[in-house]
Amino acid sequence: MQYITSFLLFLLLFNDAAAQTKADSISPMFPKVIITNNKQEILLAFDNNRKAYELPSIGFIEGPISLREYMSRTATEIGITCKSFRLGGMFTYIFPNKYRTFIRPYFIMQMDAYSNGRSFSDSSYKWFSLADAVKAIPYPASAQILQRVITQPTYIWAATFEEYGYTNPVDPEKIKFRILEDFYKLNEIP
């Protein structure tokens, strides 16, 4: 009887794995990319729905893709080539009253050149000084993360935030934000 139960459990698990679709492979990882140029400026993207600047992203990591490939796609979609990229931090966003948590890695990418040799073909991208970028981003977690990972680049950072209440266009007064777990260094042994 134990063998029959084990075999039935195996079939159930195998059938479930075989029935997975592309949608099942969506990861809760939604990376952001802090792109810098040789003037140490920060690239921001203007979101037409929210009428606000934010750090670039091409969305969730979907399907079988490596981080290197994801970063390469990000650079290509933005219209740049990059010298290098590295992890700046891993951040957790918890949404209250919903069973949702996003893990959001923030990468730092050093731009090498424009893909077309001149500039961005998409006018939604704009360079900012660090101070101006922090002021331009209406999302408190992103602004604080940007400030931390750029001013203290020798560490890989982590923190946990609760941030919700976004509107289209963004009304910063309606965003609910609090730090649930303050910034800490991931690459330092306590």
**What is the reported pLDDT for 29?**
82
Lowest mean pLDDT among 23-37, 95-109, 115-129, 151-165: 23-37
C-alpha to C-alpha distances, 36 to 43, 123, 128, 142, 179, nearest whole angstrom: 6, 17, 9, 16, 26
**What is the reported pLDDT for 171?**
95
**What is the reported pLDDT for 21?**
52
Per-state percent for the chain, helix, strand, coil, to nearest 5: 30, 35, 35
Span 153-171, pLDDT tens digits: 999 999 999 999 999 999 9
**What is the reported pLDDT for 190?**
65
Structural domains in the chain, CATH included, are 26-185 (3.90.79.10)
Does pLDDT of 114 surpass 80?
yes
**Cβ neighbours, 10 Å, residue 142:** 23
Span 9-38, pLDDT tens digits: 333 444 444 444 544 444 468 899 999 999
Mean pLDDT throughout 89-111? 89
Does pLDDT of 86 surpass 60?
yes
